[in-house]
Amino acid sequence: MTSDRMKQGLARAPHRSLLKGMGYTNQELARPLIGVVNAKNESIPGHIHLDKIAEAVKSGIRMAGGTPMEVPCIGVCDGTAMNHRGMNYSLPSRELVADSIEAMAEANAFDAMVLIPNCDKIVPGMLMAAGRVNIPSLVVSGGPMLAGRRRGKVLDLTAMFEAVGSVSAGNMTEEELYQMEDYACPGCGSCSGMFTANSMNCLVEAIGMGLPGNGTIPAVYGERIRLAKEAGMKIMDLLERGLLPRDIMTLKAFENALTMDMALGCSTNSVLHLPAIAHDAGVMIDLDLVNVISSRTPNLCKLSPAGPHHMEDLYEAGGVQAVMKELAKKNLLNLDQLTVAGKTIGEICEMADDPIDREVIRPIDEPYKQTGGIAVLRGNLAPDGAVVKQSAVAPEMMVHQGPARVFESEDQAYQAILEGKIKKKDVIIIRYEGPRGGPGMKEMLSPTAAIAGMGLDKDVALITDGRFSGATRGASIGHVSPEAMAAGPIALVEEGDIISINIPEGRLDLLVDDSVLEERKRKWKAPEARFKSGYLARYARMVTSANTGAVLK
């Protein structure tokens, strides 16, 4: 066992002494030491209850003959960090999560790990660490929040952000807004739509690193606690079998994840995280694979913000397993892929119930759309690609041309939107918000939600080298690469330039002559870095482009 290097032999008597100082017995130290990486904190609703999940996991480990050792993990809530300086730290926190788990696992010589995340960057950060350390590991999340309800209306975080725009447009009173905030997030769990956190927790199942139900069992259900106990027991089975993350997270597994991504209509952030997870698992995937899989995968679900359904509806309809069962009917999944459940993806599909609600999970022959929920766009504005959640774009905006309204930061754009300075047909350009320029590729739910709240989401597009929240809807195109800080073409756009968007053809173009762009590029100078010291300054020097997953060099 890996832990023997810390606890076996005469020379390790001092080490055992330290362990016994915490109360561990000889019997406990003779067993495998299982790291229980718990991201519980009191600043994220998705993580406030993870202490209960961790206790259940530890019970399962003990029942199966292991010794659990709980260690902490940081977490940032994208919702509370939104639209202020805190959002600069959100994506960079993913690397801190991965680095710290790697350090803890290696320093403590864990034999295996159970990873307990729930929200946006914590899930991919933990999977990245699992790929790096490559000891038996599995993920059990804290589960999704129930949707809020107020006087017969279903609410979620998207509704709250869009309500701010509605108040600014005079369509809602401040009193109504304040009443909504008491009900939109009714309790613990990851926010109730198919936002980034729930997207990643569902994709954990498709990759094979989580047990069936990981993505959809609500946080407040006893079934979630039972799942955590099963996870604790299952990690001992993985250790005995010697099944490692890199045995599971193969190229075929990531193809399955992308297929599920398209069928569910997941957050565009998944296209940022999957390449990063693959990178640490020794697998290379690129944006071209996204479009290949999207072109053949029907969109079977329209969960908030793309539609009226929420995670509890997907759970009731059969969960991720039921969606996989539909996809398997058209041979769209690699069914021989291994999972931490001890079964292949094909065996899980065979055991799954048929979907109950055919509006929540459409039949494979009657999808919402014949192609997937996400599209990658290319053109002279995004030579290395840009990403859009096409399942949440109004039909009127699938093809659009309009004048550029150029802003050098999210704050500038948001202020202009709230002041009514954006008109129909406009194409908002928000630049210098990429991985290096932001730094940290800030998530921009506030401007997109304000546009939607003002009723302009069918008339106005937003384009950025930053990224958008999974709660975003409308023609919101992010991850534009190369970014402005790297002298990408988005840095050369000027006020009034005509932008052409053609999502069905995968095009994003700046309708300006090449000679003009060359002259603009000759005169271009990079702006001064926003952070000159601390973690973000180091991050900006080391981070790569969004199209490669914004991993660190």
Residue 441 near residue 467, CB atoms below 8 Å: yes
Residue 372 near residue 452, CB atoms below 8 Å: no
Q: Which residue has the tokens 């998530």?
A: 443
C-alpha distance across the termini of the chain, in Å: 32
- Tell me the Cα Rg of the chain: 23
State the amino acid at position 64 in one-letter form.
Answer: A
* Residue 59 to residue 228: CA distance in whole angstroms: 9
Beta bridge partners of 375: 388
* Residue 109 to residue 100: CA distance in whole angstroms: 14
Residues assigned a catalytic role = 469
CB atoms within 10 A of CB 252: 17
Which helix (H) or strand (E) element contains residue 507? strand 507-510
* Residue 154 to residue 304: CA distance in whole angstroms: 11
Tokens standing for 165?
Answer: 């725009």
* Residue 124 to residue 178: CA distance in whole angstroms: 33
State the amino acid at position 169 in one-letter form.
Answer: A
* Residue 277 to residue 435: CA distance in whole angstroms: 17
37 sits in the region (left: phi over 0; alpha: psi -120 to 50; else beta) called beta
Which string of DSSP letters, residue by residue, matches 361-426? S--TTS-SBSS-S-EEEEETTEEEEEEE-GGGS-GGGSEEEEEEEEESSHHHHHHHHHTT---TT-
Residue 305 near residue 294, CB atoms below 8 Å: no
Question: Coil, strand, or helix at residue 534?
Answer: helix
* Residue 308 to residue 448: CA distance in whole angstroms: 18
Separation in Å, CA 488 to CA 6, 144, 541, 542: 50, 38, 17, 18
Which residue from 387, 467, 465 is spatially nearest to 431, judged by alpha carbons? 465
Which residues, in sequence order, are CB contacts of 184 under 8 Å at separation 6+? Answer: 148, 150, 155, 156, 157, 159, 160
Separation in Å, CA 420 to CA 15, 116, 174, 417: 65, 43, 18, 5
Q: Which residue has the tokens 């350390």?
A: 133
Residue 325 near residue 348, CB atoms below 8 Å: no
